[in-house]
Structure 1
Amino acid sequence: MSQALADTPTRPPRKDLVKAFVAALSGTSLEWYDFAAYSVASALVFGDLFFPSHDPLSGTLLAFSTYAVGYLSRPLGGFVFGRLGDVLGRKQVLVTTLLLTGVATVLIGLLPTHGQVGALGAVLLVALRFAQGVGIGGEWGGAVLLSSEFGDERHRGFWASAAQIGPPAGNLLANGVLAALAASLTPEQFLSWGWRVAFLLSAVLVIFGLWIRVKLEETPVFRELQQQGDQAAAPLREVFTEEPRALISAILSRVGPDVLYALFTVFVLTYVTKELGLPQSWAVAGVMIGSTCQLALIPAAGWLSDRWGRRRVYAIGALGGAVWPFAFFPLIGGGSAPMLVVGVIVGLLWHSLMYGPQAAFVSEQFSTRLRYTGCSLAYTLAGVIGGALAPLLFTSLFAYFDSWIAPACYLLATCVVTLVGLAISPRAARAA
């Protein structure tokens, strides 16, 4: 079946497109709430509760190591659920990934700490973090296709951005819940049981997300593939043998945004509190305000890519992200709360210019019959190279060189990698 036929089936009613947009946005937001709650807890409490150490830096490094497990397990989710998504359909897989991530998150909220069961608590924490990563690994590719395959390619950048709004929305919700808990409880209460509430709330949120997804129809593009009997028999093998350049381009294009996001939403929490000695609430507020801005910036960047081209908008974000840390760290060095907020907002602006067009750019690199697998592999493998190690490397580089310049150069290098990925796109005409 031709690529054009698969990409442009009979257009469904607009209400179905809106429903798909909401389903992709809500489900991805809920899964990223789970993931973000863990990320924030890694920076704030997990070091003390599960990895006690007389050296605060060591505890933070160990906590961030479990953060990396959530990325390292994503390729497994990408391999398994990507294949199923191209064989069985988008909808069924997305229900499974949401349920897997939600159950793992609720169980984290019930875990005994090191003080209660010793090292077993840390082992269980890593295992559940692994399960979270598997679910997220299968989620992104399907969420992107869920929204983009209900529309037409002229507006794919905007509609596909639904899945991209999930991380800042989930991050905002997780930070908001944890900030509210920290503000309403004493430090002792928050460390003892307050942080658990954020994870247990995931049960309610996941039920809501499942309700929306179960009611949704399969995408018209996949239904047409089924009618033609053109589903891939071995999508994993076919992606590696038939579309390797597309896969490499998509992977490289995702590295810079992942690392930049880790700097401005995870590492900044540790840097501001432990290096600058500023109140924890300032760092959390900066991330929350920046994430709020992204709720509008990401779909705006997707919309812009429909008019200016994916690669052009994406490249502007990569260039801005490469140089901004060299202004950001001196800017916040004076200990000003407003400058911290402005610095995070601008950092996430550059991220939005990459992240908004990313879903459409990555999905357009692959033929329709291999798209779920290709997107999932690109997303998860790039996460291992970029996001998995970023908080750990930021912390280690800063500790070794005792300067913010080393982390800034690391981000600069990853943004260059992203520009290379954009340049080698095999479908440059569509993405230009």
Structure 2
Amino acid sequence: MNRFRGALDESPPLWWSILYFFSLLTGYYVLRPVRDAMGASSDAVAVFPQAWVAWAQSHGQDIGDFTLQVLFTGTFLVMLALQPLYGALVARWPRRVFLPAVYVIFIACLVGFYVAFLRDWPGRGMVFFVWTAVFNLFAVAVFWSFMADVFDDATAKRFYGYIGAGGTVGALLGPAITRVLVERIEVANLMLVSIGSLCVCLLCIYKLRPWALRREQMRGEATGERAMGGSMWAGLRLVWQEPLLRAMATLMFFGVMVGTLLYNEQAAIVRNAFGADAARATRYYANIDLAINLFAITVQLLFTRTLLRRFGVGPALLIPGFAVLLGFCALAASPFPMLVAIVQVTTRGSEFALGKPGRETIYTRVQREWRYKAKAFIDTFVYRTSDVSTAWLHKGLAGFGSQVVFTAGIGATLVFIFSAWRVVKLQRTLPGATLPGDTRR
């Protein structure tokens, strides 16, 4: 706590960065249990348009049997369409315009969902599921890109653990709000809670802007107050050309594959347990999110800062992979529900507490086009490509039983660990690299 107070006194932007991430994840995690309940719902009419349900029935199929596969495919297609639009926004507009614009658009969408859930419009579940996934990826990707403008590599290694912990507190508060209020104020009014959180994010962007300008001036970098220029497809080109970015993309792809295999197995369990009871399913997912974030904040406060400063990004990227490998080996031997929940907590908690801060510190040492274009491509398009392909892979594997699913997960985890090792090796070629154990900076 003394170190934390000292960091806050030393770095005024740290206050606003913590509040920003806290508010962002509070707003998202208020919505996430609603999204997960939609994905696990057995009420096909609540999730899909009536015309889709009728078309599937006319062909002798129950669309509810393919809920997650259809939702992940829809998310992928929407992400595919939005990626060039985001690239054009970043290329043509300065930071002071496109950062607030992203959040204003999301606020406008939440107003629409408030009406949809209030009036029980058919098909609301599908649209909300896809939108929430897009919101999570773009809003969080934009946040970390902005943090790389505000902090340099040395301060990132010192402060990103605190910023991550602030986000985790928000991720704890969000599902707690949903758990307490969902049966009292109904799902529609949760949208208004999330809107309030995003308004705080806009205030934090305004307050942090001078610090980003100051850092750019001190380092002689091109200011983010001018349009970045370049092609809307620059993110794809950079990932294709640069070995480090390719390794980061591979790490993302297989990390998401591991998480999606686990998530889909969990959804099957929830569907069998709660059926069409959306409130109970929402409360169940809220409890899982609370456990994950309690685990994450413990690691963030006690270990993340020390690991990054003393040993660099290596342990932060490799430890989650070995933790997942151990969990999947246990599940392949004995896939019972409680163990699935424990591995879910460990997998997502270690990603939030170690993997994410470790990757984000790397982006503080690269040019802005890498931070905003290549990073967004990896965090959105690569992420959702893995999501949708794994969702259909799981559908094929699930027929052979849970043990086969988790055995496939072991193979994906091994590639994930190898990709993490490649990232650790390649990032040492970047400017400002420090050897493990060098804490002078």
Give matches, 1:28-427, under 5 Å. 28-31=25-28, 33-35=30-32, 37-44=34-41, 47=44, 49-51=46-48, 58-59=63-64, 61-62=66-67, 65-82=70-87, 84-85=89-90, 88-111=93-116, 121-122=122-123, 126-127=126-127, 130-157=130-157, 159-160=159-160, 172-181=172-181, 184=183, 194-218=186-210, 219-220=212-213, 221-222=215-216, 224-226=220-222, 232-234=228-230, 236=232, 238-241=234-237, 243-262=241-260, 267-272=265-270, 274=272, 284-298=286-300, 300-301=303-304, 303-328=306-331, 333=336, 342-351=342-351, 352-361=353-362, 363=363, 366-390=366-390, 393-394=393-394, 396-397=395-396, 399-401=398-400, 403-425=401-423, 426-427=426-427
Of the three residues 17, 21, 28, the one matched with 1:20 is: 17
Distance in 1 (CA, whole Å) between partners of 2:100 and 2:11 is 23
The answer (yes or no) to whether the contact 2:168–2:296 under 8 Å persists in 1 is yes
The answer (yes or no) to whether the contact 1:157–1:360 under 8 Å persists in 2 is yes
The percentage of aligned residue pairs carrying the same residue is 10
Q: CA deviation at 1:360?
A: 2.0
Alpha carbons of 1:212 and 1:308: their partners in 2 closer, same or farther (altered >3 Å)?
Answer: same
Distance in 2 (CA, whole Å) between partners of 1:24 and 1:287 is 17
Alpha carbons of 1:181 and 1:227: their partners in 2 closer, same or farther (altered >3 Å)?
Answer: closer
Q: CA deviation at 1:175?
A: 3.5
- The superposition leaves residues 83-129 of structure 1 with CA deviations (integer Å, 9 ceiling, x where unpaired) of 5446644453232222222332342342279x976xxx32x654565
- Normalising by structure 1, report the TM-score: 0.74
The answer (yes or no) to whether the contact 2:138–2:376 under 8 Å persists in 1 is yes
The answer (yes or no) to whether the contact 1:171–1:291 under 8 Å persists in 2 is yes
The answer (yes or no) to whether the contact 2:47–2:126 under 8 Å persists in 1 is no
- The superposition leaves residues 286-314 of structure 1 with CA deviations (integer Å, 9 ceiling, x where unpaired) of 34212222234356436523322213331
- The superposition leaves residues 213-271 of structure 1 with CA deviations (integer Å, 9 ceiling, x where unpaired) of 33332513456534599975315555555643233122111123334444566642432
- Normalising by structure 2, report the TM-score: 0.73
AA partner of residue 357 (structure 2)? G
AA partner of residue 422 (structure 1)? A
Alpha carbons of 1:420 and 1:341: their partners in 2 closer, same or farther (altered >3 Å)?
Answer: closer
The answer (yes or no) to whether the contact 1:161–1:357 under 8 Å persists in 2 is no
Runs of 5+ in structure 1 lacking a partner?
1-11, 186-192
- Shifted more, 369-378 versus 60-69: the winner is 60-69
AA partner of residue 322 (structure 1)? L
Distance in 2 (CA, whole Å) between partners of 1:419 and 1:68 is 27
Alpha carbons of 1:344 and 1:50: their partners in 2 closer, same or farther (altered >3 Å)?
Answer: closer
Two-structure CA RMSD over aligned residues (Å): 4.2
Q: CA deviation at 1:210?
A: 2.4
Alpha carbons of 1:89 and 1:134: their partners in 2 closer, same or farther (altered >3 Å)?
Answer: farther
Alpha carbons of 1:16 and 1:177: their partners in 2 closer, same or farther (altered >3 Å)?
Answer: closer
Alpha carbons of 1:145 and 1:109: their partners in 2 closer, same or farther (altered >3 Å)?
Answer: same
Aligned positions, number: 401
Q: CA deviation at 1:27?
A: 2.7
Q: CA deviation at 1:372?
A: 1.1
Q: CA deviation at 1:81?
A: 3.2
- Cross-structure match for 1:5: none
Distance in 1 (CA, whole Å) between partners of 2:274 and 2:129 is 30
